[in-house]
A and B are shown apart, each in its own frame.
Chain A
Amino acid sequence: MGFDQWMLAFHVLSAFSLVAGMILFWVLIVAGRKIDTPADTLRLGPVARVGNATVGIGLGGTILFGVYLAFAIDSYAIWDGWILAALVLWFVGTGLGRKTGEAFLEGPKKAQELEAAGQTGPSAELLAVNRTSRGLALHAATSVVVVLIIIDMIWKPGA
């Protein structure tokens, strides 16, 4: 297997890491909709950190190996329409993902506040924060962007 094939394999594995992390966050979003206690909210933290790591590896790997491949493969150019579209979508997705993360950090922050205040029981306010519709909408939008990148990568319009 040549060097470029390895780079392509790492590019695709990075894409899998990115989507796996996003799916993990979907699982946490669905689970979080029933969580109304600080302890249960904070218990999801380590799982969310795995999601952060896989998304981070995915974002870094897709762009690094992807840009390398765009320059290394003779019949591709970085200014090809489908590659430029993927780059634009990658930046849009990264921005949306950052805002999604901020929205879903409100839950753990609220849980820590409640715990510090000695309120360990169910809280309607915490439940409402965990059910953030803004976060849900942002994660849905990010997911749509990622699916569009996958479609772009498979169909390669204009290639």
Chain B
Amino acid sequence: MSVLAVVRPDSWNFPLFVHVLGAMILMGGLVAGASALAFARGDAKLLRLGFWSLMLVSFPGWVVMRLGAQWIYSKEGWDKVPDSLIPRWLNIGYVLADAGGLVLVITLIIGGIGVRRLQAGKSAGLLKVTLVLSVVLLAAYVVAVWAMAGKPG
């Protein structure tokens, strides 16, 4: 229990705030994007809203989250610790943040092509792929938040 109540040095708080706020914006964009894509049922406006939510909310959120993560990582001195001593929760967060970022970029590329095809009057199939990837990302980031907050191991 005492581990839960540890008070951080003040200098760690702002980087942590940046990291958490970025992660929340990332998740918010994913929830908004996935919901709009899921309920669009072929409606071009909602499909576009879903894609642009991912592009203009989730992606900037990911960038802020990742910058904040690196900042707090070095503030806490993890960059000076051998890899073998890095705790499991931190590894989970790191792997999911970076792999998730790659999947997010792929999602945006597929979604962007999907929106262009939609404008050309073609099928919205690629935006269905975007929806599936968004939901996968959302699930992965829920695990990341659980790991960062609960600190298993």
A contact set with B: CB distance below 8 Å: 1-2, 4-6, 8-9, 11-13, 15-16, 19-24, 26-28, 31, 40, 43-44, 46-47, 50-51, 54, 69, 72-76, 147, 150-151, 154-156, 159
Contact = CB atoms under 8 A, between A and B. Distances in A.
B1 A43 contact: no
B31 A1 contact: no
Which secondary structure dominates chain B's binding surface? helix
B4 A43 contact: no
B23 interface: yes
Contact of B57 (A8, A23, A51, A74): A23
Given A11-B149, A154-B13, 15 more contacts: A5-B4, A8-B150, A9-B145, A13-B146, A16-B27, A19-B24, A20-B24, A20-B27, A20-B32, A24-B31, A27-B29, A43-B43, A47-B39, A154-B17, A155-B13
Contact of A1 (B17, B24, B35, B152): B152
Contacts of A74: 1-2, 5
The size class of the interface chain B forms with chain A is 35 or more
Which secondary structure dominates chain A's binding surface? helix
Contacts of B151: 1, 5
12 contacts: A1-B152, A4-B4, A8-B150, A20-B30, A23-B32, A24-B35, A26-B28, A50-B35, A51-B31, A73-B4, A74-B2, A156-B7
